[in-house]
Amino acid sequence: MSRRAPKLGRGVALVGAGMSKFGAFADKTSRDLFVDAFNAMTKSMDKAINTEDIDALYVGNYSSDLFEGQGHIAPIMADWVGLVPKPATRVEDACASGGVAIREGIIAIASGIYDIVLVGGTEKMSNLPTEQVTDTLASASDATYEGSCGFTFPGLYAAMATAYMDKYGASVEHLMKVGIKNHNNGALNPKAQFNKTIKDLMNSRIEKAKQKGEQIPDWHDEIDFLRDPRANPVVAWPMRLFDCSPITDGAACILLVAEDLAKNFSDDPIYVVGTGQGSDHALHERDDLTSILSARIAAQEAYKMAGVTPEEIQIAEVHDCFTIAELLAIEDLGFFKHGEAFKATEQGLTARDGLKPINTSGGLKSKGHPVGASGVGQVVEIWHQMRGEAGPRQVPGKDIRLTLTHNVGATGGTCVVHIFQRR
Amino acid sequence: MSRRAPKLGRGVALVGAGMSKFGAFADKTSRDLFVDAFNAMTKSMDKAINTEDIDALYVGNYSSDLFEGQGHIAPIMADWVGLVPKPATRVEDACASGGVAIREGIIAIASGIYDIVLVGGTEKMSNLPTEQVTDTLASASDATYEGSCGFTFPGLYAAMATAYMDKYGASVEHLMKVGIKNHNNGALNPKAQFNKTIKDLMNSRIEKAKQKGEQIPDWHDEIDFLRDPRANPVVAWPMRLFDCSPITDGAACILLVAEDLAKNFSDDPIYVVGTGQGSDHALHERDDLTSILSARIAAQEAYKMAGVTPEEIQIAEVHDCFTIAELLAIEDLGFFKHGEAFKATEQGLTARDGLKPINTSGGLKSKGHPVGASGVGQVVEIWHQMRGEAGPRQVPGKDIRLTLTHNVGATGGTCVVHIFQRR
């Protein structure tokens, strides 16, 4: 592409970030979750923010329409945190809605029209039966050419996984190792939906069998556990239950401000130095299922804008809606060569104490995946890690100055990447 | 509000605009309609555009999710007009989705990140039964506090209409005159869903009665016709059938470029000189139902940015989803004092040959209201009128240099206003 290098007219900084607890909350709507996230965000800030000073709201949401029968949620969210009559805009790009809402916030500040922008994401999914949630999510694929053939997302990602395994020789055990790592991280995240390691889950199943006097399963490690269909049934081979992110209710909020105002709001702001977004054809139209064009495009643009290389990124939150998705992500982002991510994961390079820690929050797999909120939730983790405030899951021995988030919509119809710097 | 005057970092121009036929098309999906609109837009341009030169797509859509079972439509629309892998983002603010998508396009060019942006809107509504369309639209109200009480939009706007009639002494006949005027305009618009005057409709009913040997209705003018419940049944008093915009399938596209590039694409570009957006509380929370806060805020901001007064605006396309909505709009925009719009309409001031022509396209009432596309469709009319290309409905005797569009979401939870100038 002959396109000129993308450049923003004004710098943008991150001065606050917070999220609701992720999980299944029968008594909460998306607006309640949003208020929880907003309050967590204000609590995260070094200096108090007066809501009257916020110029606008962008909110990422996949389908409150289908999940809750509530469209037009942006002004409702604005109202519930006291922002009326400020502009309130919903942005939707499936599971990348949150990340794209952040991009719109960045662009708006860069344009000069706003100085201070609240970006949120919210999704309330658990009130529908599982099959209906699966169908609702499936409408983010190409409903005419994929959904109509019976494809839902576990099946679409299963197709990508088998293509990857066939091309590079990866096994189901390699996929399992992504989930094991992310649960190891999520176990240390009090806001995660599943804050237990897979070993913990295995041991508690063994304990239960003992107590009931049942036959004790022959599990020596997590891989034994995950191979056992009683513990980890196949959803769409090779995707088993523990390869899939859960159905989650949750919200996240961040506050973006013009770079020159950052010190008014934070002693230690984080600067947004790169943003990129791309689109791709629906999965059935692609020649290659083992790499996502929109992700490569988004990453290229973000790296170019930031003037950095993949090697310089210290930690990243990437879109692991399925275990295979994390492998594709860290290859498309240039962290590892194509066909190498599964080996890198096996070698522990993406673990919290590895060379390139990925999804220290627990990722979508363990932290949870309230689809429209996930892209914003990624930045909450980045905020805590970069400020050294991530508690027991703080990445050890690193002064974290450069990070990345990677948020995918559907099978990659959308991808958005952001790069953050602490100066 | 102490907010600084909003200012864009870079000027933006409109260099093309086109729409699909609006109507009910059983054989077309929202992507087909979008392609029709894109082709009409490219045809409207003075110079050819290479799709590879388009940097990004913003698409307004209210709920393809609920109407067609298709979420994540932005990359699909991008794919169908050849824009992959460029960024593609859906913007949703109910019936203001199209107008807000335009605003995001303007902001993005102003930020410097893009030079050339396609903005579209699309909605495919007619495949559901009418009651289900009404319910789908109702989810744009506050589903928890309004929808749950049985309110749908005719009822919500009926509440606004009765409040207005009570406060200012307007009658149902005043409302009817808005519809009569808009049908007079729409009758001259070949792309309108109902391109017939109400007099035409009346006469054809009389003719039919004659042919069938039935009793000939005692209708001497359009008001007689509209007062007769056989011709114009009550939907939610005082809103009758002809006070309500129809269920419409349709799409519209415009091309925005950085001001300094405008002459590369058009011999006669139109400049975007003002944009404003506001939000409001849900209707049940408001003290006053006769004026919409978000509209006043959006108008104020757009006028301030453009440095113009309401008096200087020569023609406007405003959001007449119901007849009462046009009266509120032209008061909130400052064209007429509060409580004066119904008299101005009666005096013909808003007719095509009046002092302040409103909805020369036929408006949502007669042109049709494919909800997420309507805000973009408004700009298509502005484009044609400002370039003197509106054919038989061209506003007579005016050299049109300054125009405005006003697009409302739901009962005003969102409003967005744009001002355009021809130099």
ipTM of the complex: 0.97
Where residue A6 falls among pLDDT bands split at 50, 70, 90?
confident
Other beta carbons within 10 angstroms of residue B125's beta carbon come to: 28
List, for residues B302-343, the tens digit of each pLDDT value: 999 999 999 999 999 999 999 999 999 999 999 999 999 999
Among B101, B176, B140, B102, smallest CA distance to B326 is for B176
In B, residues 58-77, which contact A (CB 8 Å cutoff)?
Answer: 62-63, 65-66, 68-72, 74-76
- Judge whether residue B121 has pLDDT over 70: yes
List the single range of A86-100, A354-368, B136-150, B280-294 with lowest mean pLDDT.
Answer: B136-150
Where residue A8 falls among pLDDT bands split at 50, 70, 90?
confident
List, for residues B288-300, the tens digit of each pLDDT value: 999 999 999 999 9
Query: Considering chain A, what is the average pLDDT of its residues?
Result: 96
SS (H, E, C) B196-239: CCHHHHHHHHHHHHHHHCCCCCCCCCHHHHHHCCCCCCEEECCE
The answer to whether B108 contacts A111, with C-beta atoms less than 8 Å apart, is yes
CA distance A415 to A396: 29
The answer to whether A93 contacts B74, with C-beta atoms less than 8 Å apart, is yes
Please compute, for residue B321, the number of CA atoms within 13 A of its CA located in the half-sphere on the CB side: 26
**In contact, B332 and B368? CB cutoff 8 Å:** no
In A, residues 25-44, which contact B (CB 8 Å cutoff)?
Answer: 29, 31
Q: Which residue of B has its CA nearest to A81?
A: B281
- Which tokens sit at A219? 């599990």
Q: Virtual CA dihedral for A33, A38, A40, A44, nearest 10 degrees?
A: 160
Confidence (pLDDT) at A346:
98
Q: Which residues of B are catalytic?
A: 95, 369
Q: Distance (Å) from the C-alpha of residue B213 to the closest C-alpha of chain A?
A: 49
- In chain B, which residues have their Cβ closer than 8 Å to the Cβ of A1? 52
List, for residues A340-356, the tens digit of each pLDDT value: 999 999 999 999 999 99
Q: Which residue of A has its CA nearest to B7?
A: A113
- Judge whether residue B28 has pLDDT over 60: yes
Report the amino acid identity of residue B316.
A
**Does an H or E element contain B418, and which?**
strand B414-421
The beta-carbon neighbor of B72 closest among A76, A87, A409 is A409
- Judge whether residue B233 has pLDDT over 80: yes
- Judge whether residue A204 has pLDDT over 80: yes
CA distance A87 to B173: 35
**Does an H or E element contain A250, and which?**
strand A250-258
What integer is the mean pLDDT of B212-236?
A: 96
CA distance A93 to A280: 12
**In contact, B359 and B182? CB cutoff 8 Å:** yes
- Judge whether residue A3 has pLDDT over 80: no
Other beta carbons within 10 angstroms of residue A134's beta carbon come to: 16
Q: Which residues of A are catalytic?
A: 95, 369
List, for residues B337-396, the tens digit of each pLDDT value: 999 999 999 999 999 999 999 999 999 999 999 999 999 999 999 999 999 999 999 999
What distance lies between CA B312 and its chain's CA centroid? 21
- Judge whether residue B1 has pLDDT over 50: no
- In chain B, which residues have their Cβ closer than 8 Å to the Cβ of A139? 65, 69-72
3-state helix, strand, coil in chain B (%, to 5): 45, 20, 40
In A, residues 247-286, which contact B (CB 8 Å cutoff)?
Answer: 275, 277-282, 285
Q: List Cα–Cα distances, B63 to A331, B70, B97, in angstroms.
A: 34, 8, 10
- Judge whether residue B2 has pLDDT over 50: no
What integer is the mean pLDDT of A161-184?
A: 98
The answer to whether B78 contacts A108, with C-beta atoms less than 8 Å apart, is no
